[in-house]
Chain A
Amino acid sequence: MSNMSRIAVTSEGPSLDDLVDPRFGRAAGFVVVDLETMHTQYIDNGQSQVLAQGAGIQAAGLVAQAGVSCLLTGSVGPKAFKALCAVGIKVGQNLEGLTVRSAVERYKNGQIEIAPAANRSGR
Protein backbone atom coordinates (compact mmCIF):
# COMPACT_ATOMS: atom_id res chain seq x y z
CA MET A 1 0.00 0.00 0.00
CA SER A 2 1.39 3.40 -0.83
CA ASN A 3 2.62 5.56 1.96
CA MET A 4 1.73 9.26 1.65
CA SER A 5 5.04 10.32 3.12
CA ARG A 6 7.19 8.33 0.68
CA ILE A 7 7.94 9.49 -2.83
CA ALA A 8 10.33 8.26 -5.55
CA VAL A 9 12.46 10.38 -7.84
CA THR A 10 14.21 9.09 -10.97
CA SER A 11 17.89 9.69 -10.42
CA GLU A 12 21.27 9.45 -12.07
CA GLY A 13 22.74 8.28 -8.79
CA PRO A 14 21.89 7.16 -5.24
CA SER A 15 22.03 10.48 -3.41
CA LEU A 16 19.84 13.55 -2.95
CA ASP A 17 22.51 15.62 -4.67
CA ASP A 18 22.41 13.62 -7.89
CA LEU A 19 20.51 14.98 -10.85
CA VAL A 20 16.97 13.91 -11.65
CA ASP A 21 17.20 11.34 -14.46
CA PRO A 22 15.02 12.74 -17.24
CA ARG A 23 13.79 9.24 -18.15
CA PHE A 24 11.59 6.85 -16.22
CA GLY A 25 11.65 3.42 -17.86
CA ARG A 26 15.37 3.46 -18.57
CA ALA A 27 16.40 5.69 -15.67
CA ALA A 28 19.57 4.68 -13.89
CA GLY A 29 17.63 4.26 -10.68
CA PHE A 30 15.17 5.72 -8.18
CA VAL A 31 15.79 7.55 -4.94
CA VAL A 32 12.98 6.77 -2.51
CA VAL A 33 12.59 9.52 0.04
CA ASP A 34 10.78 9.49 3.36
CA LEU A 35 9.50 13.05 3.47
CA GLU A 36 9.35 13.22 7.25
CA THR A 37 12.86 11.97 8.01
CA MET A 38 14.49 12.74 4.62
CA HIS A 39 15.93 9.26 4.87
CA THR A 40 16.70 7.82 1.44
CA GLN A 41 16.86 4.42 -0.20
CA TYR A 42 18.15 3.75 -3.73
CA ILE A 43 16.62 1.28 -6.16
CA ASP A 44 18.82 0.37 -9.12
CA ASN A 45 16.82 0.15 -12.36
CA GLY A 46 19.16 -2.20 -14.27
CA GLN A 47 16.50 -4.89 -14.69
CA SER A 48 14.26 -2.50 -16.67
CA GLN A 49 17.04 -1.16 -18.86
CA VAL A 50 17.79 -4.59 -20.35
CA LEU A 51 14.24 -5.18 -21.55
CA ALA A 52 13.62 -5.04 -25.29
CA GLN A 53 10.24 -3.45 -24.64
CA GLY A 54 8.18 -2.41 -21.66
CA ALA A 55 10.97 -0.93 -19.57
CA GLY A 56 8.57 1.70 -18.23
CA ILE A 57 6.11 -0.96 -17.11
CA GLN A 58 8.86 -2.88 -15.32
CA ALA A 59 10.03 0.33 -13.66
CA ALA A 60 6.46 1.05 -12.54
CA GLY A 61 6.41 -2.34 -10.85
CA LEU A 62 9.68 -1.62 -9.05
CA VAL A 63 8.51 1.74 -7.83
CA ALA A 64 5.16 0.30 -6.72
CA GLN A 65 6.92 -2.32 -4.63
CA ALA A 66 8.71 0.50 -2.81
CA GLY A 67 5.34 1.74 -1.56
CA VAL A 68 5.43 5.36 -2.73
CA SER A 69 2.54 7.75 -3.35
CA CYS A 70 4.22 9.90 -5.97
CA LEU A 71 6.89 9.61 -8.67
CA LEU A 72 8.92 12.64 -9.81
CA THR A 73 10.79 12.58 -13.12
CA GLY A 74 11.46 14.27 -16.47
CA SER A 75 9.23 12.27 -18.81
CA VAL A 76 7.04 9.25 -18.65
CA GLY A 77 5.66 7.39 -21.66
CA PRO A 78 1.95 6.59 -21.94
CA LYS A 79 2.19 2.88 -21.00
CA ALA A 80 4.32 3.56 -17.95
CA PHE A 81 1.94 6.38 -16.99
CA LYS A 82 -0.99 3.98 -17.26
CA ALA A 83 0.83 1.46 -15.08
CA LEU A 84 1.66 4.07 -12.40
CA CYS A 85 -1.95 5.31 -12.41
CA ALA A 86 -3.27 1.79 -12.07
CA VAL A 87 -1.30 1.31 -8.85
CA GLY A 88 -2.33 4.71 -7.53
CA ILE A 89 1.00 6.51 -7.91
CA LYS A 90 0.77 10.19 -8.88
CA VAL A 91 3.26 11.56 -11.39
CA GLY A 92 5.13 14.87 -11.47
CA GLN A 93 6.97 15.53 -14.74
CA ASN A 94 9.35 18.02 -16.41
CA LEU A 95 11.80 18.04 -13.51
CA GLU A 96 14.97 17.29 -15.47
CA GLY A 97 17.87 19.59 -14.71
CA LEU A 98 17.11 19.71 -10.97
CA THR A 99 18.86 17.75 -8.26
CA VAL A 100 16.79 15.12 -6.47
CA ARG A 101 16.89 17.31 -3.36
CA SER A 102 15.47 20.33 -5.24
CA ALA A 103 12.72 18.24 -6.77
CA VAL A 104 11.76 16.89 -3.34
CA GLU A 105 11.77 20.40 -1.83
CA ARG A 106 9.46 21.64 -4.57
CA TYR A 107 7.13 18.73 -3.90
CA LYS A 108 7.09 19.47 -0.17
CA ASN A 109 6.30 23.11 -0.94
CA GLY A 110 3.35 22.10 -3.11
CA GLN A 111 5.06 23.53 -6.22
CA ILE A 112 4.72 20.41 -8.35
CA GLU A 113 1.80 20.00 -10.70
CA ILE A 114 0.48 16.47 -10.71
CA ALA A 115 0.33 15.33 -14.32
CA PRO A 116 -3.03 14.31 -15.76
CA ALA A 117 -1.32 12.49 -18.65
CA ALA A 118 2.06 11.36 -19.94
CA ASN A 119 4.12 14.20 -21.43
CA ARG A 120 5.88 11.91 -23.88
CA SER A 121 4.34 10.21 -26.92
CA GLY A 122 4.86 6.48 -26.81
CA ARG A 123 5.74 3.67 -29.17
Chain B
Amino acid sequence: MREIIIISGKGGTGKTSLTGAFAHLATTKIICDLDVDAPDLHLLLQPTIGRREEFYSGHEAVIEGETCDGCGLCASLCQFGAIRQHEAGFVVDPVRCEGCKVCVAFCPTAAIRFPERHCGRWYVSSTRFGPLVHAQLFPGAENSGRLVMVLKQQARELAQARGADLVLCDGAPGIGCPVISSLSGAHLAVVVTEPTPSGRHDLERVAALCRHFQTALGVIINKHDLNDDETARIEAFCHDENYPVLARLPHDPLVTRAMVQGLVVTELPESDFSQELGQAWSRIEALAGPGR
Protein backbone atom coordinates (compact mmCIF):
# COMPACT_ATOMS: atom_id res chain seq x y z
CA MET B 1 0.00 0.00 0.00
CA ARG B 2 1.46 3.36 -0.95
CA GLU B 3 0.63 6.78 0.39
CA ILE B 4 1.04 9.76 -1.92
CA ILE B 5 0.68 13.31 -0.59
CA ILE B 6 0.07 16.32 -2.82
CA ILE B 7 1.55 19.42 -1.15
CA SER B 8 2.60 22.87 -2.26
CA GLY B 9 4.45 25.05 0.23
CA LYS B 10 2.75 28.05 -1.28
CA GLY B 11 -1.04 28.13 -1.27
CA GLY B 12 -3.06 28.54 -4.46
CA THR B 13 -0.82 26.60 -6.84
CA GLY B 14 -3.57 24.15 -7.75
CA LYS B 15 -2.89 21.31 -5.32
CA THR B 16 -6.55 20.51 -4.60
CA SER B 17 -7.70 20.77 -8.23
CA LEU B 18 -4.94 18.37 -9.27
CA THR B 19 -5.59 15.97 -6.38
CA GLY B 20 -9.24 15.83 -7.45
CA ALA B 21 -8.20 14.92 -11.01
CA PHE B 22 -5.74 12.27 -9.75
CA ALA B 23 -8.53 10.81 -7.63
CA HIS B 24 -10.50 10.40 -10.85
CA LEU B 25 -7.57 8.82 -12.71
CA ALA B 26 -6.39 6.44 -9.98
CA THR B 27 -8.04 3.02 -9.70
CA THR B 28 -8.55 1.46 -6.28
CA LYS B 29 -7.72 4.11 -3.73
CA ILE B 30 -8.81 5.86 -0.57
CA ILE B 31 -8.88 9.65 -0.91
CA CYS B 32 -7.94 11.81 2.03
CA ASP B 33 -8.18 15.59 2.52
CA LEU B 34 -5.51 16.49 5.04
CA ASP B 35 -5.98 20.26 4.74
CA VAL B 36 -8.17 20.22 7.83
CA ASP B 37 -7.88 23.99 8.27
CA ALA B 38 -9.43 24.97 4.90
CA PRO B 39 -10.55 21.73 3.22
CA ASP B 40 -11.76 22.14 -0.35
CA LEU B 41 -11.61 18.71 -1.97
CA HIS B 42 -15.20 17.99 -0.95
CA LEU B 43 -16.33 20.86 -3.20
CA LEU B 44 -15.18 18.80 -6.19
CA LEU B 45 -16.10 15.35 -4.88
CA GLN B 46 -19.52 16.08 -3.30
CA PRO B 47 -19.23 13.42 -0.61
CA THR B 48 -22.14 11.59 0.95
CA ILE B 49 -21.24 11.42 4.62
CA GLY B 50 -21.30 7.89 6.00
CA ARG B 51 -19.69 8.36 9.38
CA ARG B 52 -19.22 11.49 11.47
CA GLU B 53 -16.96 11.74 14.51
CA GLU B 54 -16.26 14.58 16.92
CA PHE B 55 -12.64 15.55 17.42
CA TYR B 56 -11.42 16.60 20.84
CA SER B 57 -7.85 17.64 21.38
CA GLY B 58 -6.14 19.27 24.30
CA HIS B 59 -7.91 21.31 26.92
CA GLU B 60 -8.79 24.90 27.76
CA ALA B 61 -8.93 26.75 31.06
CA VAL B 62 -12.25 28.14 32.28
CA ILE B 63 -12.38 30.30 35.43
CA GLU B 64 -15.39 29.76 37.71
CA GLY B 65 -16.56 33.24 38.66
CA GLU B 66 -17.99 32.29 42.06
CA THR B 67 -14.83 30.57 43.25
CA CYS B 68 -12.40 33.16 41.84
CA ASP B 69 -11.21 35.60 44.50
CA GLY B 70 -9.57 38.00 42.04
CA CYS B 71 -5.97 37.47 43.20
CA GLY B 72 -4.68 37.62 39.61
CA LEU B 73 -1.94 34.99 40.04
CA CYS B 74 -3.21 33.21 36.90
CA ALA B 75 -2.86 36.35 34.79
CA SER B 76 0.69 36.95 36.00
CA LEU B 77 1.74 33.37 35.24
CA CYS B 78 0.08 33.06 31.82
CA GLN B 79 2.74 33.24 29.11
CA PHE B 80 0.15 33.66 26.37
CA GLY B 81 -1.67 36.80 27.50
CA ALA B 82 -4.88 34.79 27.71
CA ILE B 83 -6.14 35.97 31.09
CA ARG B 84 -7.52 39.41 31.80
CA GLN B 85 -9.53 41.13 34.50
CA HIS B 86 -13.28 40.99 34.26
CA GLU B 87 -15.58 42.54 36.87
CA ALA B 88 -14.44 41.30 40.26
CA GLY B 89 -12.36 38.45 38.95
CA PHE B 90 -10.51 37.18 35.90
CA VAL B 91 -11.51 35.51 32.65
CA VAL B 92 -9.69 33.32 30.11
CA ASP B 93 -9.81 34.23 26.41
CA PRO B 94 -10.30 30.86 24.68
CA VAL B 95 -8.68 32.18 21.49
CA ARG B 96 -5.38 32.83 23.31
CA CYS B 97 -5.54 29.95 25.78
CA GLU B 98 -2.80 27.45 24.99
CA GLY B 99 -4.21 24.72 27.23
CA CYS B 100 -1.01 24.46 29.27
CA LYS B 101 -2.73 24.05 32.69
CA VAL B 102 -0.38 26.38 34.56
CA CYS B 103 -3.20 28.63 35.83
CA VAL B 104 -5.22 25.56 36.85
CA ALA B 105 -2.28 24.13 38.80
CA PHE B 106 -1.42 27.32 40.67
CA CYS B 107 -4.86 28.80 41.41
CA PRO B 108 -5.04 29.12 45.23
CA THR B 109 -8.82 28.65 45.30
CA ALA B 110 -9.00 25.86 42.65
CA ALA B 111 -11.32 28.10 40.68
CA ILE B 112 -10.23 26.98 37.23
CA ARG B 113 -11.77 24.07 35.33
CA PHE B 114 -9.90 22.31 32.53
CA PRO B 115 -12.38 20.74 30.09
CA GLU B 116 -11.41 19.00 26.85
CA ARG B 117 -11.48 21.21 23.80
CA HIS B 118 -13.88 20.38 21.00
CA CYS B 119 -11.73 21.24 17.99
CA GLY B 120 -13.55 19.85 14.99
CA ARG B 121 -15.20 16.98 13.26
CA TRP B 122 -14.08 14.28 10.85
CA TYR B 123 -15.94 12.16 8.33
CA VAL B 124 -15.70 9.01 6.27
CA SER B 125 -17.73 9.57 3.15
CA SER B 126 -18.39 8.06 -0.25
CA THR B 127 -17.81 9.90 -3.52
CA ARG B 128 -18.04 9.05 -7.20
CA PHE B 129 -14.28 8.36 -7.15
CA GLY B 130 -14.23 6.25 -4.01
CA PRO B 131 -14.13 6.70 -0.25
CA LEU B 132 -13.07 10.09 1.13
CA VAL B 133 -11.71 10.66 4.63
CA HIS B 134 -11.93 14.33 5.55
CA ALA B 135 -12.37 16.76 8.39
CA GLN B 136 -13.08 20.32 9.39
CA LEU B 137 -11.33 22.05 12.24
CA PHE B 138 -13.47 24.69 13.90
CA PRO B 139 -12.25 28.19 13.03
CA GLY B 140 -9.46 29.32 15.34
CA ALA B 141 -8.69 25.81 16.59
CA GLU B 142 -5.16 24.59 17.15
CA ASN B 143 -3.80 22.72 14.16
CA SER B 144 -1.25 20.53 15.87
CA GLY B 145 -1.42 17.84 13.24
CA ARG B 146 -3.18 15.36 15.50
CA LEU B 147 -6.35 15.51 13.38
CA VAL B 148 -4.20 14.90 10.30
CA MET B 149 -2.80 11.77 11.98
CA VAL B 150 -6.34 10.58 12.83
CA LEU B 151 -7.38 10.94 9.17
CA LYS B 152 -4.30 9.14 7.88
CA GLN B 153 -4.88 6.31 10.29
CA GLN B 154 -8.52 5.99 9.19
CA ALA B 155 -7.54 6.06 5.53
CA ARG B 156 -4.93 3.33 6.06
CA GLU B 157 -7.38 1.12 7.93
CA LEU B 158 -9.97 1.62 5.20
CA ALA B 159 -7.38 0.81 2.51
CA GLN B 160 -6.55 -2.39 4.37
CA ALA B 161 -10.22 -3.34 4.74
CA ARG B 162 -11.10 -2.58 1.10
CA GLY B 163 -7.96 -4.03 -0.46
CA ALA B 164 -6.99 -0.64 -1.89
CA ASP B 165 -3.30 -0.22 -2.65
CA LEU B 166 -3.21 3.56 -2.61
CA VAL B 167 -4.01 6.36 -0.17
CA LEU B 168 -4.06 9.66 -2.07
CA CYS B 169 -3.92 12.77 0.12
CA ASP B 170 -4.55 16.45 -0.51
CA GLY B 171 -2.09 18.14 1.85
CA ALA B 172 -2.00 21.50 3.61
CA PRO B 173 0.01 24.57 2.55
CA GLY B 174 3.05 25.69 4.53
CA ILE B 175 5.75 23.74 6.38
CA GLY B 176 4.32 23.56 9.90
CA CYS B 177 2.73 20.88 12.08
CA PRO B 178 -0.03 19.77 9.70
CA VAL B 179 2.37 19.34 6.76
CA ILE B 180 4.90 17.54 8.95
CA SER B 181 2.16 15.19 10.09
CA SER B 182 1.03 14.70 6.49
CA LEU B 183 4.51 13.55 5.50
CA SER B 184 4.76 10.95 8.27
CA GLY B 185 4.80 7.52 6.61
CA ALA B 186 4.20 8.91 3.12
CA HIS B 187 5.99 7.16 0.27
CA LEU B 188 5.99 10.13 -2.07
CA ALA B 189 5.30 13.87 -1.81
CA VAL B 190 4.28 15.61 -5.03
CA VAL B 191 4.95 19.33 -4.74
CA VAL B 192 2.76 21.53 -6.95
CA THR B 193 4.46 24.84 -7.63
CA GLU B 194 4.04 27.86 -9.91
CA PRO B 195 6.63 29.94 -11.78
CA THR B 196 6.65 32.97 -9.51
CA PRO B 197 9.25 34.13 -6.97
CA SER B 198 6.88 33.03 -4.16
CA GLY B 199 6.26 29.67 -5.78
CA ARG B 200 9.97 28.97 -6.14
CA HIS B 201 10.84 30.27 -2.67
CA ASP B 202 8.19 28.13 -1.02
CA LEU B 203 9.12 25.08 -3.11
CA GLU B 204 12.66 25.33 -1.75
CA ARG B 205 11.39 25.43 1.83
CA VAL B 206 8.94 22.57 1.48
CA ALA B 207 11.57 20.52 -0.38
CA ALA B 208 13.96 21.11 2.54
CA LEU B 209 11.23 19.87 4.86
CA CYS B 210 10.80 16.68 2.80
CA ARG B 211 14.58 16.13 2.91
CA HIS B 212 14.54 16.69 6.68
CA PHE B 213 11.94 13.92 7.04
CA GLN B 214 13.49 11.78 4.29
CA THR B 215 10.41 11.75 2.08
CA ALA B 216 10.88 11.20 -1.66
CA LEU B 217 9.52 14.02 -3.78
CA GLY B 218 8.55 14.96 -7.33
CA VAL B 219 7.54 18.37 -8.67
CA ILE B 220 4.72 19.59 -10.88
CA ILE B 221 5.10 23.07 -12.35
CA ASN B 222 1.58 24.43 -12.74
CA LYS B 223 0.75 27.51 -14.87
CA HIS B 224 4.23 27.15 -16.39
CA ASP B 225 3.45 29.43 -19.33
CA LEU B 226 2.98 32.41 -17.01
CA ASN B 227 6.73 32.98 -16.85
CA ASP B 228 9.34 31.07 -18.86
CA ASP B 229 12.28 32.48 -16.86
CA GLU B 230 10.84 31.41 -13.54
CA THR B 231 9.92 28.00 -14.94
CA ALA B 232 13.53 27.60 -16.08
CA ARG B 233 14.79 28.57 -12.61
CA ILE B 234 12.55 25.99 -10.97
CA GLU B 235 13.68 23.33 -13.41
CA ALA B 236 17.32 24.19 -12.72
CA PHE B 237 16.67 23.89 -8.98
CA CYS B 238 15.01 20.50 -9.48
CA HIS B 239 17.86 19.34 -11.64
CA ASP B 240 20.48 20.39 -9.09
CA GLU B 241 18.63 18.69 -6.24
CA ASN B 242 17.65 15.61 -8.26
CA TYR B 243 13.90 16.10 -7.93
CA PRO B 244 12.03 14.71 -10.94
CA VAL B 245 9.80 17.24 -12.73
CA LEU B 246 6.65 15.21 -13.25
CA ALA B 247 4.77 17.70 -15.45
CA ARG B 248 4.63 21.24 -16.78
CA LEU B 249 0.97 22.23 -16.88
CA PRO B 250 -0.28 25.30 -18.73
CA HIS B 251 -2.35 28.02 -17.04
CA ASP B 252 -5.85 27.01 -18.14
CA PRO B 253 -9.22 28.57 -17.20
CA LEU B 254 -10.62 25.06 -17.69
CA VAL B 255 -9.59 24.26 -14.10
CA THR B 256 -11.79 27.01 -12.65
CA ARG B 257 -14.59 26.20 -15.09
CA ALA B 258 -14.57 22.61 -13.83
CA MET B 259 -14.46 23.79 -10.20
CA VAL B 260 -17.50 26.04 -10.71
CA GLN B 261 -19.39 23.04 -12.07
CA GLY B 262 -18.30 20.88 -9.15
CA LEU B 263 -16.23 18.70 -11.46
CA VAL B 264 -12.57 17.82 -11.79
CA VAL B 265 -10.85 18.94 -14.98
CA THR B 266 -10.49 15.36 -16.31
CA GLU B 267 -14.29 15.08 -16.33
CA LEU B 268 -14.56 17.83 -18.94
CA PRO B 269 -14.05 17.00 -22.64
CA GLU B 270 -10.44 15.99 -23.30
CA SER B 271 -7.96 18.85 -23.59
CA ASP B 272 -4.20 19.36 -23.78
CA PHE B 273 -4.34 20.07 -20.06
CA SER B 274 -6.15 16.84 -19.20
CA GLN B 275 -3.82 14.80 -21.40
CA GLU B 276 -0.75 16.29 -19.75
CA LEU B 277 -2.37 15.60 -16.38
CA GLY B 278 -2.95 11.96 -17.34
CA GLN B 279 0.73 11.58 -18.20
CA ALA B 280 1.68 13.26 -14.92
CA TRP B 281 -0.38 10.70 -13.02
CA SER B 282 1.35 7.80 -14.81
CA ARG B 283 4.71 9.27 -13.85
CA ILE B 284 3.58 9.72 -10.25
CA GLU B 285 2.49 6.09 -10.04
CA ALA B 286 5.79 4.96 -11.52
CA LEU B 287 7.76 7.11 -9.06
CA ALA B 288 5.78 5.88 -6.07
CA GLY B 289 6.58 2.32 -7.08
CA PRO B 290 4.63 -0.87 -6.50
CA GLY B 291 2.58 -1.26 -3.34
CA ARG B 292 4.10 -3.24 -0.46
Contact = CB atoms under 8 A, between A and B. Distances in A.
Do A and B belong to a common assembly? yes
Q: How large is the interface on A (under 10, 10 to 19, 20 to 34, 35 or more residues)?
A: 10 to 19
Contacts of A121: 183-185, 213-215
A123 B214 contact: no
Interface residues of B, number: 20
Contacts of B144: 52-53
A106 interface: no
B184 A52 contact: no
A52 B58 contact: yes
B89 interface: no
B145 interface: yes
Nearest to B183: A121
A108 interface: no
A122 interface: yes
Interface in A11-40: 23, 26
Interface in A102-123: 120-123
Given A121-B213, A121-B214, A52 B180 contact: no
Contacts of B183: 121, 123
16 contacts: A23-B153, A50-B56, A52-B57, A52-B99, A52-B142, A52-B144, A77-B184, A121-B184, A121-B214, A121-B215, A123-B145, A123-B177, A123-B180, A123-B181, A123-B183, A123-B184
For the complex of A and B, 6 pairs with smallest distance between CB atoms: A52-B58, A52-B57, A123-B180, A123-B181, A123-B184, A121-B213
